[in-house]
Structure 1
């Protein structure tokens, strides 16, 4: 297949590119710094800042992972604008590209996040669950709406709402390892909030599953089937690192340090990948301990 990708140099994108190349696909990467893409990825792809240069090349699938990391900085008004623009801009460019293609791609896989649901306490959250309004919800809602415009041109659209993605060379887990290895780890706030997570390898398998399943479209929760509470996550991580888990982070400290962004860590949702399981996807890492054992 010819596959067009945005966000290819990120934590998920790099691993995805390696997996797709191993499967024999041809990859076309949109990047603001195309001359650096092959060095960053460590593999050979075709890169450009302008997808319209490939209008004559029939793409079979488009994967949209572009977007600034949501938890890398405090949510100032400037940061919120950056988070929105870094998602809406590339997605809108992709839709314009698809509009002009004489040979339309069969499918668009577009990223989103479980933040669209807002806080839900202990209730199971499926793809059709109601959403509670906050900035993360509005951000994801705008992002998804832009991607769904591809349906206007006869393209099948799959929206992938990811949770905390676990892998060995980046993401939130890499930030947690140092304090936990030093014995400074602990739960956040009450620790009772759910942390929907997924092993990065399963997330990559979901993407290829959705490309292959021509009968599937719409939103899918990209989370493992057994979400855990924050205190359970901390306890299991500490046990796998053979370190004590003694120093919880009080919610008020997190609110003072991070402001509105602290709600991402203090308020949870028990997100379930209902549609993936209903359609036969089998997770390699359904529970947290084996996932952390493989990564660590």
Structure 2
């Protein structure tokens, strides 16, 4: 199905528009929404790949401008953006990381402005990097402040600021601040599991830094919850309640695969090799899912042991 503008080619029922629909979280979300019987429109730069990956039951467009004004989009989920952990944070890379997220948000708001019926809600992916690298071990709920001048914080602030512009259109906005999302189909888990299986599980630095994490099923579950729960708005820490130090996380990961984590990688080596980006590994945030729990969300995998055991079984 191409992205022609003829309204007959678009869903006649209320739909959920998803950007980043072929990504790690996006593909799992689309699968869940389809299973729930919802109509889904996927926005993808590679329409052929999206149609192949998502199946014939999902509408795919390469241009948001191709969506007719009469299309009833009930909810928008914005997950698209360049990968933060990977290439060095050069000036050009930083600009790309910001632009890859905020420019699409601007396109989404332009779409909302011309739709005959505005969406009820925009769920935009942010991250726990919003809080920067705070000192101390005090729990951080959604009221905690960002850290201006630190890139990971400035990036998340820019993402959320653009998303919040939709509120002026009468759209409820939820910004999900994700920790590390663990799933077998992508993200950090496959690499960590492979390293642990070969006895290469390691403590990073002193190992005391927190590792905010969430199982993929709960990442998808929280997005779905945010779409349907009219009382939920603003920032939502998308992390499991069982927050651990990195040394404990590495130990639990290894144990779930019947191995031991014996190695240590010094902080200076990571700083030398990764520069400022090493903050994602050797620093962390003691984040708690206060808003999600207050709204009544029940985690499928609230404990790290349960989550890792589930993933280890799925992997094998």
Aligned to 1:111, the other structure's residue is in SS state strand
- Residue 116 in 1 paired to residue 134 in 2? no
TM-score of the aligned structures, taking structure 2 as reference length: 0.91
Say which SS state the counterpart of residue 92 (structure 1) adopts: helix
- The secondary structure found in structure 2 opposite 1:37 is helix
**Partner residue of 2:225 out of 193, 202, 209:** 209
Q: Corresponding residue for 2:156?
A: 140
**2:307 is aligned with 1:294:** no
Q: Secondary structure at the match of 1:187?
A: strand
The count of corresponding residues between Structure 1 and Structure 2 is 296
Contiguous gaps of at least 5 residues in structure 2: 1-13
What does residue range 176-187 of structure 1 map to in structure 2 within 5 Å? 176-187=192-203
Is 2:239 aligned against 1:223?
A: yes
Name the structure 1 match of 2:173: 157
Q: State the match for 1:101 in structure 2.
A: 115
- Residue by residue over 1:225-284, the C-alpha shift from the partner in whole angstroms, topping out at 9 and shown as x without a partner, is 111110000000111111121111111110111111001111111100001111111111
Task: Determine which of 118, 130, 145 is the counterpart of 2:145.
Answer: 130
3-state SS in 1 of match to 2:264:
coil
1:276 to 267, 271, 292: 292
Other structure's SS at 2:188 match: helix
Asked if residue 6 in structure 1 is aligned to residue 22 in structure 2, the reply is: no
Partner of 1:57: 71
Is the 8 Å Cα contact of residues 18 and 43 (structure 1) preserved in structure 2? no
**Cα offset, 1:87, TM superposition:** 0.6
Closer/same/farther in 2, CA of residues 167 and 43 from structure 1, 3 Å limit: farther
Which structure 1 residue ranges, 5 or more long, are not aligned?
A: none
**What's the offset of the Cα at 1:37?**
0.5
- SS across alignment from 2:73: coil
Partner of 2:42: helix, strand, or coil? Answer: strand
| Aligned counterpart, 2:262 | 246
CA contact (8 A) 1:126 1:221 kept: yes
Contact 1:123–1:269 under 8 Å retained in 2 = no
Distance 2:196 2:48 in 1: 37
- Give the whole-Å Cα distance in 2 for the aligned partners of 1:238 and 1:224: 19
- With over 3 angstroms needed to count, the CA separation of the structure-2 counterparts of 1:43 and 1:260, relative to structure 1, is farther
Measure how far apart 1:215 and its partner are: 2.1
Q: Does the aligned pair in 1 maintain the 2:50–2:60 contact within 8 Å?
A: yes
Identify the match of residue 67 of structure 1 among 81, 84, 89: 81
What does 1:25-40 correspond to in 2, within 5 Å?
25-40=38-53
Q: Does 1:22 align with 2:38?
A: no
